[in-house]
């Protein structure tokens, strides 16, 4: 599917009904547009089945709660909406975006507890997030922006506002010919990429940042479970920048990224090694099982 996301054929599920794609609009005074009062989920459907679908729906509701925003749908209703959107667009392999947000209403300021909370589901065909990087390894810049302290943001929520510095970091990375950027956290530890968690390999063991100030991704959790099932030691810990030069392999995980090898971060290079390829292949088998 090519062209503007605003100008496509198909249907988007909005507030309980299917709306023609081009008519799925909101008012300019929608609260989320001004104050980022929205949460979302990115999911992938493989062979007609959304991977970890209920886990995503449950997290959406938790994210809403963390933003003091009660989403007026149950997990079962969210599940039904996702599959209704897939059916309406005749898709069995697709990316699924669910978003809940404060709409336009009686209030137009920082407070908006009287405004309705709305929800929409859009689905579309989407290939590899990093293109051919899945084969040769992505090249990452190092962002100047840092993941903030959990005392300043609800870091366990998948909330739109938390991605502002991610957008800026990815733009800066792409301007340098990179696919993405790796971010440190407010303490200077390695954190994550702009929309994916990160893993490293050294001496046959895996190291991944402790998610104490950023989202503990569902794909991250899945991959850790896969590694442990293989008997591979996984260290979830704080990782210092100077450790990067000692790691042999690296990969990213996320619903969009799936398992993507990393070949370079700044001046540090990594091989797309056997374990990286094995985990990527095993993940592909799992999601299509």
Q: Return mean pLDDT, the chain.
A: 96
Would you state the pLDDT for residue 130?
77
Q: Please give the Cα distance from 184 to 214 (Å, whole number).
A: 11
Q: Are residues 265 and 207 in the same domain?
A: yes
Is 6 domain-assigned? no
Is 3 domain-assigned? no
Q: Are residues 151 and 248 in the same domain?
A: yes
- The span from the first CA to the last CA of the chain, in angstroms, equals 25
Q: Has residue 128 got a pLDDT over 80?
A: no
**189-204 confidence digits (pLDDT tens):** 999 999 999 999 999 9
Q: Please give the Cα distance from 231 to 254 (Å, whole number).
A: 22
Q: Exposed (0-12), middle (13-18) or buried (19+): which is 154, by Cβ within 10 Å? A: middle
Q: How many domains does the chain have?
A: 2
Q: Are residues 64 and 153 in the same domain?
A: no
Q: Are residues 72 and 186 in the same domain?
A: no
**131-183 confidence digits (pLDDT tens):** 776 778 999 999 999 999 999 999 999 999 999 999 999 999 999 999 999 99
Q: Please give the Cα distance from 34 to 69 (Å, whole number).
A: 16
Q: Are residues 145 and 272 in the same domain?
A: yes
CA distance to 38, 128, 198, 222, per residue, from 94 (Å): 22, 11, 24, 20
Q: Are residues 275 and 217 in the same domain?
A: yes
List 52, 134, 158, 170, catalytic entry? 158
* Cα dihedral sign, 277-280-284-289: positive
Residue 230 belongs to domain with CATH number: 3.20.10.10
Cβ-contact 69, 40 below 8 angstroms: no
Q: Please give the Cα distance from 218 to 222 (Å, whole number).
A: 6
Q: What are phi and psi of 161, to 5 degrees?
A: -60, -25
**4-48 confidence digits (pLDDT tens):** 999 999 999 999 999 999 999 999 999 999 999 999 999 999 999
Q: Are residues 50 and 183 in the same domain?
A: no
Q: Has residue 1 got a pLDDT over 60?
A: no
Q: Are residues 60 and 96 in the same domain?
A: yes
Q: Within the chain, what is the greatest distance between any pair of CA atoms?
A: 59
Q: Is 285 a catalytic residue?
A: no
Is 245 domain-assigned? yes
Q: Please give the Cα distance from 186 to 199 (Å, whole number).
A: 19
**202-241 confidence digits (pLDDT tens):** 999 999 999 999 999 999 999 999 999 999 999 999 999 9
Would you state the pLDDT for residue 132?
72
Q: Are residues 119 and 147 in the same domain?
A: no
Beta strands in the chain (DSSP E): 11-14, 17-20, 38-46, 49-50, 94-102, 117-124, 138-147, 180-185, 190-193, 197-202, 205-209, 234-237, 249-254, 258-265, 268-269
Q: Are residues 204 and 110 in the same domain?
A: no
Instruction: Tell me the pTM.
Output: 0.95
Residue 98 belongs to domain with CATH number: 3.30.470.10
Q: Are residues 35 and 158 in the same domain?
A: no
Is 260 domain-assigned? yes
| pLDDT tier at 271, thresholds 50, 70, 90 | very high
Boundary (domain end) residue, out of 93, 124, 155: 124
Work out the number of other CB atoms within 10 angstroms of the CB of residue 263: 18
Segment 42-60 shows an average pLDDT of 98
Residue 224 belongs to what domain range? 133-287
Boundary (domain end) residue, out of 84, 101, 124: 124
Segment 261-285 shows an average pLDDT of 97
Would you state the pLDDT for residue 136?
82
Is 85 domain-assigned? yes
| pLDDT tier at 2, thresholds 50, 70, 90 | low
Share of the chain above pLDDT 90, in %: 95
| pLDDT tier at 102, thresholds 50, 70, 90 | very high
| pLDDT tier at 66, thresholds 50, 70, 90 | very high
């Amino acid at each position: 599917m090519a062209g503007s996301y605003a100008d496509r054929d198909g249907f988007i599920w909005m507030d309980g009904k299917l709306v023609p794609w081009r008519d799925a609009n909101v008012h300019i005074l929608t609260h989320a547009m001004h104050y980022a009062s929205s949460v979302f989920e990115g999911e992938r459907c493989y062979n007609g089945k959304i991977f970890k679908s209920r886990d995503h729906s449950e997290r959406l509701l938790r994210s809403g709660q963390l933003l003091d925003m009660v989403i007026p749908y149950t997990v079962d209703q969210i599940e039904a909406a996702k599959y209704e959107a897939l059916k309406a667009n005749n898709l069995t392999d697709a990316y699924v975006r669910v978003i809940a947000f404060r709409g336009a209403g009686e209030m137009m300021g920082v407070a908006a507890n009287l405004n309705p909370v709305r929800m929409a589901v859009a689905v579309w065909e989407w290939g590899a997030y990093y293109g051919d990087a899945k084969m040769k390894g992505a090249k990452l810049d190092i962002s100047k922006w840092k993941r903030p302290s959990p005392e300043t943001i609800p870091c366990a929520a998948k909330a739109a506002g938390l991605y502002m510095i991610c957008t800026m970091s990815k733009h800066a990375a792409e301007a340098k010919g990179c696919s993405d950027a790796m971010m440190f956290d407010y303490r200077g530890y390695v954190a994550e990429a702009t929309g994916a968690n990160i893993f490293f390999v050294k001496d046959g063991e895996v190291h991944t940042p402790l998610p104490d100030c950023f989202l503990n991704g569902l794909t991250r959790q899945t991959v850790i479970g896969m590694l442990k099932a293989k008997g591979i030691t996984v260290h979830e810990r704080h990782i210092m920048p100077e450790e990067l030069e000692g790691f042999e392999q690296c990969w990213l995980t996320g619903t969009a990224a799936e398992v993507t090898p990393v070949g370079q971060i700044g001046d540090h290079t990594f091989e797309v090694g056997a374990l990286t390829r094995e985990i990527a292949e095993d993940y592909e088998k799992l999601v299509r099982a």
